[in-house]
Structure 1
């Protein structure tokens, strides 16, 4: 059975629960709710497994805090013997408009500390990442406050549909492959 490691980036703790930076956790939580899955705390993160059409999705929310995400990714790839091309990292992106979805097979960390650590631990920039746009609607010097800030009411209202779309993207990545998924979802 083919296995995939789907990693949602975020920070643990109730202080961060509804922050923009935690969209990776939020997307995986949404998938777990929809499929009636329960996360269990294991080494370096909370894990649950989802099976669909002969594929196994291992959903991971690292408990290492954002800036040390690479350690958890590296550990679970090795433990579950998952090839790098079956890794998908979900992260927030300031450079994309709110709610836009972008899947890429490689790229820079874009100043994102979670991606920076993953890149350093894996020794490559060639891994699949799914970027969820949180927009850059903050004034100069307020980036940290914005990223660690909670969603506005307007964003919260638009989030449900975007979360559903994000789950479709994840399932498509596993079932239809990265190229088909990029064609279907990028910029939508």
Structure 2
């Protein structure tokens, strides 16, 4: 039986947030969609979604349009509608607790300092789902956290993050075809 995977990239909608630190989840989904010829353009469940397949499995790619702090509303609506097990919902997001460009994959866990993840955990009442975190580093001394996550990368940081986004796209395929444990041992270096 075909499984259905839901892959959610977190970010904020609107041109003014393009290429900001907080939007690496959206950036990853854009690359994932491009690589697998999945157009993410239908507005459903408070998200832009695209349907297609990756490694022979059906996938829904979703970019919540609720703004980061309300991401959980969209994720809950999608998961409820498609009735997929949470183990088949993959969330991709930025993490200030990881160095810029570092990739970390987990099968479950807390939200940490991330408001989008807090919203998801609150709305789906579980932390048992895979996540791919892309490091954006900590704000420099004196910076407000909100200003920092909504800022753009310096050129060298952007290169490191683009490499991570590329790896994150590979990791999604790996989770879908080989499972989370295999993927964690391969990518968490």
Question: TM-score w.r.t. structure 1 length?
Answer: 0.94
The residue that corresponds to 2:113 in the other structure is 111
Q: Which of 163, 174, 180 is matched with 1:161 structurally?
A: 163
| Correspondence for 2:124 among 110, 117, 122 | 122
- Please report the RMSD computed on the Cα atoms of aligned residues, expressed in angstroms: 1.4
Secondary structure at the residue paired with 1:124? coil
Give the match's secondary structure for 1:7: strand
- Give me the whole-angstrom Cα distance separating, in 1, the residues matched to 2:141 and 2:180: 35
Most deviating of 89-98 and 105-114: 105-114
Q: Is the 8 A contact 2:10 2:63 kept in 1?
A: yes
Summarize the alignment of residues 80-159 of structure 1 with structure 2, pairs less than 5 Å apart. Answer: 80-159=82-161
Unpaired stretches in structure 1, ≥5 consecutive residues: none
Q: Which residue number corresponds to residue 35 of structure 1?
A: 36
**Equivalent residue, structure 2, for 1:74:** 76
Distance in 1 (CA, whole Å) between partners of 2:158 and 2:143 is: 24
Aligned partners of 1:160 and 1:24: how far apart in 2? 11
1:44-100 deviation digits (Å, cap 9, x = unpaired) = 111112313331121100011111111111111111121111011111000111111
Q: When the two structures are superposed, what TM-score results if normalisation uses the length of structure 2?
A: 0.93
Q: Does the Cα contact within 8 Å between 1:2 and 1:54 map onto a contact in 2?
A: no
SS of the residue aligned with 2:158? helix
How many residue pairs get aligned? The number is 187
Q: Aligned partners of 2:88, 2:64: CA distance in 1, in Å? A: 17
Counterpart secondary structure, 2:138: coil
Q: Which moved more, 1:44-53 or 1:95-104?
A: 44-53
Q: Name the structure 1 match of 2:24.
A: 23
In structure 2, C-alpha distance between the alignment counterparts of 1:180 and 1:108, rounded to whole Å: 21
For residues 53 and 89 of structure 1, the distance between their equivalents in structure 2, rounded to whole angstroms, comes to 18
